[in-house]
Amino acid sequence: FITTKLRNSNQPVEKALPSIRHSLELLQTEYVDCLLLHWPVPETRADAWRVLERVLDEGLARSIGVSNYQERHLTELLEHCAVKPAINQIELSPFTYTREVVRACNENHIAVEAYSPLTRGLL
């Protein structure tokens, strides 16, 4: 299962698709299982999401999602998207837990994927 992210500096429309194609080339694959927007960058997130929807439609990704989206970001995205995110990758551990985000994901059938679940080795 291969997941990769569209980093913040590559979210502008003119950079997004070339960046994704370059990632596929580096990974030596025709598609990834999941492609995520790395961060909800205010100026670019809406257009970047439309690029991810196109990538999904073209078969370059099997699923698309977001990373570090809070409840307000999810609400905004869900109001305008054609395809709901499959995943929201957030920092989630016994010590870092945002109930509102997890609740919003559950209510909208968006899988929560934890990063730093062991709090960077502190457990």
pLDDT score of 118 more than 70: no
Single pTM value for the model: 0.91
Report, as an integer, the average pLDDT of 11-15.
Answer: 97
Q: Which of 9-18, 37-46, 86-95 is the least confident region?
A: 86-95
Radius of gyration of the chain, Cα coordinates, nearest whole angstrom: 14
Q: How many CA atoms lie within 13 A of 21 on its CB side?
A: 8
Q: What's the CA angle centered on 48, arms 102 and 28, to 5 degrees? A: 95
Q: What is the DSSP string of 64-96?
A: EEEES--HHHHHHHHHH-SS--SEEEEE-SSSS
> What's the CA gap between 28 and 24, in Å, rounded?
6
The more confident residue out of 122 and 97 is 97
pLDDT score of 78 more than 80: yes
Q: What pLDDT sits at residue 93?
A: 79
> What's the CA gap between 15 and 106, in Å, rounded?
32
Report, as an integer, the average pLDDT of 68-87.
Answer: 97
pLDDT score of 21 more than 60: yes
pLDDT score of 46 more than 80: yes
Give the residue from 9, 5, 4 showing the smallest Cα distance to 41: 9
pLDDT score of 121 more than 70: no
Q: What pLDDT sits at residue 94?
A: 78
* CA-based end-to-end distance of the chain: 27
